[in-house]
Amino acid sequence: MIVVTGGAGFIGSAIVAGLNARGISDIVIVDFLENDQKWKNLRNLCYADYIEADEFYEMLATEHIDWPIETIIHMGACSDTTETDASYLVKNNYECSKMLACWAAEKNVRFIYASSAATYGDGEKGFADDEKKLEELLPLNMYGYSKQMFDLWTKKTGLIDSIAGLKYFNVFGPNEYHKGKMRSFVIKAFQQIGESGEVKLFKSHHPDYADGEQLRDFLYIKDCVDMTLFFLDNPDVNGIFNIGTGKAKSWNDLVNAVFCAMDKKPNIEYIPMPEELQGKYQYFTQADITKLQNAGYDKEQTTLEEAIKDYVQNYLQNDEYLSGK
C-alpha cells in the first residue's frame, strides 16, 4: 500500500495518476478537502481509500493502521508562500512531517517528502542540493522556512540518509485550477489573455534584471511526477534533491509561450511590484540537478514551450477542464 498525503492537491493528485498509469491502485489518499474544489481531482483516480488528514494522524498515533504500508509520499502541506500564520505553518509543514517521518522510520517504510526551492531564499548561497550547506540557507518567507526547518531536522536526526527530500521548483500544469492565488502564472496568463488580450507582469526592482526578465526554473507537472516516482523505484537513493529543469527561463519567455500556444500576438504590460513582496522576491531560481542525474535519472524533460503548448491546448482551452467539471 502506498500512502499519498496531499493526494487531492496539485502535485499529489498527479502522482496518484502517475501510479495509476503504472497499474497501481493500492493507494490511500490523505488530505484536507475543506471547502475548495480540489475534491474534483479525485474523480478520475483509482485508489483504495480516502482519509482526512487529522483522522489519519490519529490512526498513526494510536497504532490503528491495519493495512501494510510500504511507502509514504508526503506532499501534504500548506503551500501558500504568502501565509503569515507562523504557528499554522509550523504545525502543518513541520510537526506533521516529523510525526510521519518518525513513524515511517520505526516501521521501515519508504518515506519521500516535498521540500521546496523556497528554502534557497534569494539564491545568494546558490541552488546546489548539498546537505552539508543546509544551515547556510536563508528562506525569504515563513513558508520556505517551515520547509527548511524539516530539512534541518532530518539532518540532525540522521534520517536524511534513509529518506528522500525533494526540493520542487516552479511546478505548473493540470490539476492546479483549485489553488486560487497560488496557481501557476501559466493559468493566470491564459485567463488574462482571454479577458483583456494582455498580460501584466511585475516590473523589476533589481538593477541586474530588466522588466519581465526575472528568471525561474519552471517545471511541467508531468516531468515532476516522473522525477518523484524515480525515488519510489530507487529506494536506496536518499538525501535532499532538487526537482527542476536546471534551465532558468524568464517570465517574458513564459508569457510569450502562452501567447504562442493561443495563437495570439504578445502584449505585455509591466506593473509595479507590491511593496510587501519586494523584499521577499526571488529574482533567479535554477535547480542544480547534477545530483539527481548522478543518481541515475536520465529522462529528457519537456521544454517550457512544449509544456505550455500541451497545457494550454489540451487542458486550459477545454472549458470543462478549466471549470473543474
Active site amino acids: 143, 179
The count of other CB atoms within 10 Å of the CB of residue 259 is 21
Task: Give the closest residue to 81 by CA, choosing from 280, 284, 285.
Answer: 280
- Residue with cell string 500548506: 78
Q: First and final CA of the chain: distance in angstroms?
A: 29
Containing 200, the helix (H) or strand (E) segment is strand 199-202
Task: Give the closest residue to 214 by CA, choosing from 139, 119, 269, 282.
Answer: 282
For residue 306, give the C-alpha cell: 512544449
For residue 90, give the C-alpha cell: 509550523
Q: Are 31 and 12 in contact (CB under 8 A)?
A: yes
Q: Are 12 and 53 in contact (CB under 8 A)?
A: no
User: Measured on CA atoms in the order 221, 31, 166, 215, is the torsion positive or negative?
Assistant: positive
Q: Are 93 and 147 in contact (CB under 8 A)?
A: yes
- CA–CA gap between residue 116 and residue 145 (Å, rounded): 10
Radius of gyration of the chain (CA): 19
Containing 243, the helix (H) or strand (E) segment is strand 239-243
